[in-house]
Amino acid sequence: MQGKALPGFRDFYPEELTLRNHIFATWRSVAARYGFEEYDGPPLEALDLYTQKSGDEIVQQLYAFRDKGDRDVALRPEMTPTLARMVAARVQALKKPIRWFSIPQLFRYERQQRGRLREHFQLNMDIIGEASPLADAELMAAAIDIMRGFGLTASDVQLRVSDRRVIRTLLTGRGIKEAQLETAFAVIDRSERVPKNVLEEMLRDAGYGKRETSAVFDVAALRGQDALKAASETGESLGQAVQALESMGLGEFVSIDLTIVRGLAYYTGIVWELFDAKKSLRAVAGGGRYDSLLDLPALGFGMGDVVLGELLKERGAVPKASTELGAFLIAVGGDDMPAMLQLAHAMRERGIAVEYGLRQAGVRKQLELASARGAARAVIIGPEERKDGLAVVRDLRAGTEAKVPLDKLLNGYFD
């Protein structure tokens, strides 16, 4: 038997699953507050769903194979193509705008690096059938509120927003041809991660002259007021979306940054990414408008559990245990066992989390086990208390004890 999971795949020991569940619970509660409904699709899809919709980078990372019925299939690397397929199949019947969320596990054969694994869970929130920039603001606000739900502030995370239409207009206005735009987007996307000479070479290979090359770097360097001015000259949406976030009181989380273009090919308008403020980790979330994937205006984002988990651990914002025991029950002797079992079951029926030793042992040994299990209290049943309908409740943290009637234990004592 192999000792380890495959590279890039995780075992979730209880401690790690506690963190994952905490992340999912926060995602679900914010999505619900924003009025989103949960959906899911299959983890395995026809290969051509991705070759047609996902763009090169993801297609190269697919876990794809031929199944026993000779179908070319792939594990889902992202949720957006499944969502597009599901919506297209019922497009007439669904009331627009559609506001849906999902938490799929996704699979990409990625190069191993910090924050990137070969499987991850990803919250997806998407709005379909709404062209207003208020919809863009809505999704950015939800992503920010998720961060706030974890106790993070604007000094922990920043959302950087841009608009592909603005970048396109700025570039074509500087003499760059439509056919060359894709390389410019790729260069701008990497401008903070890859050395300048490598980027210049990419541009040279795509036929860029000196003047066009410096135009690409000029656009990539636009920030703050300059970026906003350039944006407002080329369209209103970006400014309106940012303004809406300011009205919600979330302005301090947001900055305009035209280096954000997103790696995926299907984005058409506003695009954004959420990073830790120091930018020492990969993006926590990213999304934008993809109006051409369906015949409807559409937008959404994905937020993975990997980088987010790292960030929460770094900030000490992780929950402790998954189950908090209300009490650990102890039978003093073999004769007390039936009464202890009866009480344990009655307490569980009332929703109190209860555990007891599964074999007969001395009280001291059982108390040790109770502490090791993290129980707040031990409830001890011995022959004398049993006669009087009582139990000894020992507070394991304070070390104090009290005799409590059994009916009280079952009615409100542990609330």
Closest approach of Cβ 125 to ligand HAM, in Å?
A: 8
User: Which run of H or E residues covers position 184?
Assistant: helix 181-190
- Give the nearer residue to ligand HAM in terms of CB position, either 117 or 244: 117
Residue 118 is given by DSSP the state: S
Closest approach of Cβ 287 to ligand HAM, in Å?
A: 4
Residue type, 183: T
Site for ligand HAM, rule CB under 6 A:
78-80, 108, 110, 116-117, 120, 122, 124, 126, 264, 283-287, 290, 300-304, 306-307
Closest approach of Cβ 270 to ligand HAM, in Å?
A: 11
- Give the nearer residue to ligand HAM in terms of CB position, either 282 or 377: 282
| Nearest to 77, CA basis, from 129, 41, 112 | 41
Closest approach of Cβ 27 to ligand HAM, in Å?
A: 12
Instruction: Name the pairing type of β-strands 254-256 and 157-163.
Output: parallel
Helix, strand and coil percent figures for the chain, each rounded to 5: 40, 20, 35
- Give the nearer residue to ligand HAM in terms of CB position, either 77 or 326: 77
- Give the nearer residue to ligand HAM in terms of CB position, either 204 or 278: 278
Closest approach of Cβ 289 to ligand HAM, in Å?
A: 8
CA dist 3 and 32 (Å) reads: 40
Closest approach of Cβ 300 to ligand HAM, in Å?
A: 3
Tell me the DSSP string of 237-285.
HHHHHHHHHHHTT-GGGEEEBTT---S-TT--SEEEEEEETT--S--SE
- 3-class DSSP assignment, residue 370: helix
- Give the neighbor-by-neighbor strand order of the sheet with 44-46: 44-46, 72-75, 64-66
Closest approach of Cβ 230 to ligand HAM, in Å?
A: 24
Tell me the DSSP string of 27-67.
HHHHHHHTTPEE----SEEEHHHHHHHT-HHHHHT--EEE-
Closest approach of Cβ 368 to ligand HAM, in Å?
A: 41
- Give the nearer residue to ligand HAM in terms of CB position, either 300 or 326: 300
- Cβ neighbours of 116 (radius 10 Å): 15
Say which residues have a Cβ less than 8 Å from residue 167's Cβ, sequence separation at least 6. 184, 185, 188, 219, 258, 261
CA dist 118 and 103 (Å) reads: 16
- Give the nearer residue to ligand HAM in terms of CB position, either 83 or 256: 83
Residue type, 161: V
Closest approach of Cβ 93 to ligand HAM, in Å?
A: 22
